Amino acid sequence: MMTQKELLRLAKQFDIPHSGLSNSELIRKIQQSEGNFDCYAKASEGVCDQSECSWRDGCLQESVQSPAL
């Protein structure tokens, strides 16, 4: 998982306003900017078909911890 500093650096690269966003929300904005689905931490029942996603491992862990997203 990326550190907060690394996430903010990526957000800056994509010119994404990050004030008030949670890490999950920020990652979803970055996913959109990368041209991917904005699905971070939304894996239904721990199932994800995006095997090439760079956020996959953290996503699946967070999906299990926060199933209400």
Q: Which pLDDT belongs to residue 66?
A: 67
pTM score of the predicted model: 0.83
Using CA atoms, how far apart are residues 60 and 41, in angstroms rounded to an integer? 6
- Quick check: 50 and 27 in contact, CB under 8 A? no
Res 43: pLDDT: 85
Question: So what's the pLDDT on residue 48?
Answer: 86
* Mean pLDDT split into 10-residue runs, the chain, 69 residues: 89 93 94 91 84 87 70
Domain spans in the chain, listed from the N-terminal domain onward: 4-65
